[in-house]
Amino acid sequence: MGFQVIVQPGRHSFHAEPDETILEAALRQGLSLPYGCRDGVCGACRGQVLAGEIAHGKAQLDVLSEADRQVGFALLCCAMARSDLSIESREVRSLADMPIRTLPARVHRLIRAAPEVMIVELKLAANERLQFLAGQYVDILLKDGKRRSFSLANAPHDDACLELHVRHVPGGQFTDHLFSTMKERDILRLRGPHGSFFLREDSAKPMLLVAGGTGFAPIKAIVEHALAQGNERPMHVYWGGRAFADLYLLRLAEQWPLQHAHIRFTPVLSESPADEHWAGRTGLVHLAAIADHPDLSGHQAYVCGSPAMVAAARQDFLRHCQLPADEFFADSFDYAADTLDAMKASQQSNTRVAPHE
């Protein structure tokens, strides 16, 4: 048994079970209502019940007064439906709706997904959640004031942990620390969400999603978010790596087309030694996408990975495949500004620096 909830003024609707909060039900079905703590503390999820019955759950009187309740206000992270509902709540649809916050986070799990890739699960304090759009990134703030950006690999509804996929850059300040001395329960500080690389939900166009290496992280978030929404836009995901080990979540990606007829998945290796017995596609990942989709005039493209890959994809998709410029969305894993400064200084002094990937 469950209830139908209609959100005004957008008139979007979703289904809520009696034992889940209205916010949980909305996020589970891909509808972004505003929230902060998801724990009845901050008041960010406050909405108004226009028709129907709710239980206020664990909402405290100091956050939601008796007078507020009398006129229908509710904390949607605490309230549960007791009948079909009509509620009023702002829907979070754009970057302007997304508060940027600085928060401490505890390293919950470190999972070595490949020799050079670590999946980092971060947990925020018990009464904190980070609201973001699928595909955005956060900055990890380092002790010396520098910052390093990492894409969020989890979809917004699945936010018990924030998931990062980090590739080891030998000699890199943050990733050397991560791969050598960082341990579970360490505390980091992060700031976000940032970036305009997120799923455009107002479009019905088929999507080409192209990831290079750990650029898979935000692509995974976008696919999982679209699936949670029940969005059936055709999606063709390409994931490129140098060697087989770079495709560190291959099993997960291979499941998508098996479970969803509107998703295709193509892994591509750029360097495939004979002993890897690779029977799949080879070459540059964006060229594999072009070979299958020479005409992108009716598509949207979401591309994420090294600066060289993103630049080449942008140029070739627009120039050779008629992709409209405003349908190309990308996050390029550029060096941090302080790294660029160091590289410029070292170039001026004729010191050799590591090339871009």
Ligand X SMILES: Cc1cc2nc3c(=O)[nH]c(=O)nc-3n(C[C@H](O)[C@H](O)[C@H](O)COP(=O)(O)OP(=O)(O)OC[C@H]3O[C@@H](n4cnc5c(N)ncnc54)[C@H](O)[C@@H]3O)c2cc1C
| Residues near ligand FES, by CB under 6 A | 35-38, 40-45, 75, 77
Least CB distance to ligand FES at residue 64 (A): 8
For ligand FES, which is the closer residue by CB, 44 or 311? 44
Characterize the bridge pairing of strands 85-88 and 3-8: parallel
40 binds, among ligand X, ligand FES, none (CB under 5 to 8 A by kind): ligand FES
43 binds, among ligand X, ligand FES, none (CB under 5 to 8 A by kind): ligand FES
Least CB distance to ligand FES at residue 44 (A): 5
41 binds, among ligand FES, ligand X, none (CB under 5 to 8 A by kind): ligand FES
How far apart are alpha carbons 217 and 227 in whole angstroms?
16
List all residues 6 or more positions away from 41 whose beta carbon is below 8 Å from its beta carbon: 63, 127
Radius of gyration of the chain (CA): 22
Residue 88 dihedral angles phi and psi, to the nearest 5° = -110, 125
Residue 29 dihedral angles phi and psi, to the nearest 5° = -100, 20
Helices and strands, counts by H and E, the chain: 8, 19
For ligand FES, which is the closer residue by CB, 45 or 247? 45
30 binds, among ligand FES, ligand X, none (CB under 5 to 8 A by kind): none
For ligand FES, which is the closer residue by CB, 129 or 168? 129
Bridge partner list, 111: 119
For ligand X, which is the closer residue by CB, 61 or 354? 354
The reply on whether position 311 binds ligand X by CB under 6 A is no
172 binds, among ligand FES, ligand X, none (CB under 5 to 8 A by kind): ligand X
Q: How far is CA 251 from the centre of its chain?
A: 19
For ligand X, which is the closer residue by CB, 137 or 302? 137
Please state the length of the chain: 357
Q: Which of 17, 35, 16 is nearest to 26 (CA)?
A: 16
230 binds, among ligand X, ligand FES, none (CB under 5 to 8 A by kind): none
Residue 87 dihedral angles phi and psi, to the nearest 5° = -125, 155
Least CB distance to ligand X at residue 356 (A): 6
User: In terms of C-beta distances under 8 Å and separation of at least 24 residues, what long-range contacts does 245-252 make, across chains too?
Assistant: 245/114, 245/115, 245/116, 245/117, 246/114, 246/116, 246/117, 246/213, 248/113, 248/114, 248/117, 248/119, 248/165, 248/216, 249/113, 249/216, 249/220, 252/220
Binding mask 181-200 for ligand X (x = CB under 6 A): --------------x-----
125 binds, among ligand X, ligand FES, none (CB under 5 to 8 A by kind): none
Least CB distance to ligand X at residue 21 (A): 30
300 binds, among ligand X, ligand FES, none (CB under 5 to 8 A by kind): none
List the 300-305 sheet strands across, edge first: 281-282, 263-269, 235-241, 207-212, 300-305, 328-332
Whether the ω angle into residue 273 lies within 30 degrees of 0, i.e. cis, is no
For ligand X, which is the closer residue by CB, 197 or 317? 197
Q: By CB under 6 A, what part of segment 133-192 binds ligand X? A: 137, 148-151, 165-167, 169, 171-175
Residues at the interface with ligand X (CB under 6 A): 137, 148-151, 165-167, 169, 171-175, 195, 214, 217, 331, 333-336, 339, 343, 353-354, 356-357
